[in-house]
Amino acid sequence: MKTVEERQAEEPEAGMEAEMAKMDAAMDQAAKAPLPSYEGSSISGSYLSGRFAQRHHDWKTAGKYIDYILKDQPSTSILLKRAMILALGAGDYDRAFQFASEVVADHDDSDSLSLILLTTENFRQKNYEQASKHIDNMSAGGLSTFLLPVMKSWSDAALGKYNVDELQTNSIHLHHAMLISHFLNKPSEMRSLLQKALVTGDFNVENIERLGDIYAELGEYEEAQKLYEQARKVRQDSKDLSAKLEAVMNEETSDLYIQVKTPERGLAEAFFDMGRLLAQDYSDESARVFARLGARVDPSYLENTFLLANISIRNERLDDALALFETVPEDSDQYLMARRSMAEILVEQDKPDEAIAQLEKLASKFDDLESIIQIGDIHRSEENFPKAIQAYNRAAEQIKSAHGGSVPEEYWHLYYVRGMSYEQNDQWKNAEADLEAALDFQPEHPYVLNYLGYAWADQGENLERALDMISKAVELRPNDGYITDSLGWVYYRMSRYEEAVPHLEQAVELLPYDPVINDHLGDAYWKVGRKLEARFQWMRAKNHSEDEELILKLADKLENGMVDNSVVREAKTSPAPSPSQSSESTGDHTEMQ
């Protein structure tokens, strides 16, 4: 069942999509007419080229084509609205507001999106009276359903009026009601709203953390601790959550809680909430519009900038994302995060040396530990394991220097990635020590359990313990093909071939074209006498492998079968990324994502 907030989010999205559909219909009609051309481009050609550019998330180019049409066509409401949306999506705020003003003045004085743009500019200029008038003129329903109550309450707050009556139906509205209560110094109302928020039942991990922030701000540390601990079960690698949890356990308010001190910040956060919901539903065009509005009304609230950059990354507009991260000022507490994200993009663009150079600057200028670890991650992704180990050792020394000679639990991942690098570099004893240290910190982490268990199976060591560990990992991640393969493989290494087969078959069902998993299943089939099926799996593995050494061994097995009981360690093909990246497996079955 959909939550209230999800249902609320769908209505403005539908409103935006309806507006876009109306514009497209009118533009299609205009495109069919034999109208004069502009700069060598016909009306229909400009329209089609603009749609193509927009579908490829190049809003700036799409806007230029609309400009061509506007120069040859009367400035209709449909054309102006489309030009307004494209200008806003491209970050050309002045032109977007110019188009919005024309729509309201000459065509439709109740158009929701145009009035939202004008209200945004009123807030930015602290003209709250005019903002309130624009909000009152907005047509109800569709686009404004979710935003109208929030905008109205913030405009009232800016004028010293406390009005949160319409912010009672979902967790995001209640969150803004609490922000407004805090802004107007009404702690008793905050507590009442907190209780209401806790029983709505429609909040996710972000909203749980927000509630914890507010309890912490009110000095109710025990309640804040409970909420942070609940959120941490989902975001166990979040250093921000760890810092907040430590603060409330010491009965302190974390500096990570950002208070809303201006109405502009409140509106910027409302636009971010809107954009985030739309982005979660992959409605990236609509999400981009609201994130741009948020970045305009309060550029210092950088969540909108990061949202825009992440939308650009998802749509493979990497240069756009780099430009957005570049705007984060050096005095911001999110500067280092932005620069590290830029390094990730440079790696994606096959520029690892540039990425490392940038991270070295951060490490040198800011003594930034995370940049050093990221340097190690890049070397590991490039399979330069000696340099990766050097970077991780450098990070470990810095951590130990700051923590009395030990590595605290929050840096358990360093043991994990260094252990993998040691193992890939054939330094097994060092690898084993690091992986066991990571396991001591994270005894229930499926990828740590799997990596060490699989490595032991490959070494032919501690097979019973490896079986227990990988079995636990499978319980935690039953649909992970790599971990399921590891379970079958440890049974194989224990010569329990009949028990290995069903697990390896399941792994192949989950990942049908992984050459290592196909090879493992082929070996198990051979051992239980299913030799025709074994050769089929070996052939599939050979056809899908790019590892020359593995291809040669598969060719030998296809020709001669398995002539002895020797098992060759499989090459690992894709290093594990840092914990900030996706938790879904995308590569080698021994590695954490």
Return the CATH number at 235: 1.25.40
Residues 593, 449: one domain? yes
- How is residue 41 annotated by DSSP? B
Residue 38: strand pairing partners = 41
Domains identified in the chain, total number = 3
- How is residue 410 annotated by DSSP? G
Establish if 513 belongs to a structural domain: yes
Residues 124, 175: one domain? no
Establish if 366 belongs to a structural domain: no
* pLDDT tens readout for residues 443-473: 999 999 999 999 999 889 999 999 999 999 9
Residue pair 493/567 in contact (Cβ under 8 Å)? The answer is: yes
Residues 135, 220: one domain? no
Establish if 535 belongs to a structural domain: yes
* pLDDT tens readout for residues 173-197: 988 998 999 899 998 898 888 888 7
Confidence of residue 139 (pLDDT cuts 50, 70, 90): confident
561: left (phi over 0), alpha (psi -120 to 50) or beta: left
- CATH number of the domain that residue 133 is part of: 1.25.40.10
Report which residue type is found at 413.
H
Predicted structure pTM score:
0.79
Taking CB atoms within 8 Å and a gap of at least 24, the contacts of 584-588 are: 585/480, 585/481, 585/482, 588/482, 588/516
Establish if 521 belongs to a structural domain: yes
Take residue 547 and report the two structure tokens written for it. 């590892």
Q: From residue 17, how far is each of 10, 60, 489 by CA, in Å?
A: 10, 20, 50
Residues 589, 505: one domain? yes
3-state secondary structure of 587: coil
* pLDDT tens readout for residues 90-104: 888 998 999 899 999
3-state secondary structure of 39: coil
Take residue 241 and report the two structure tokens written for it. 């959550």
Establish if 371 belongs to a structural domain: no
Q: Going along 209-302, which residue ranges are E strands?
A: none
Average pLDDT score over residue span 113-130? 95
Establish if 353 belongs to a structural domain: no
Residues 16, 111: one domain? yes
Listed range (229-233, 490-494, 531-535) with the worst mean pLDDT? 229-233
3-state secondary structure of 38: strand
**One-character DSSP codes across 234-251:** H-TT-HHHHHHHHHHHTT
Domain stops at, among 220, 238, 261: 261
pLDDT at 464: 96
pLDDT at 363: 96
Residues 452, 593: one domain? yes
Residues 123, 195: one domain? no
Full domain range(s) for residue 581? 444-593
Residues 132, 213: one domain? no
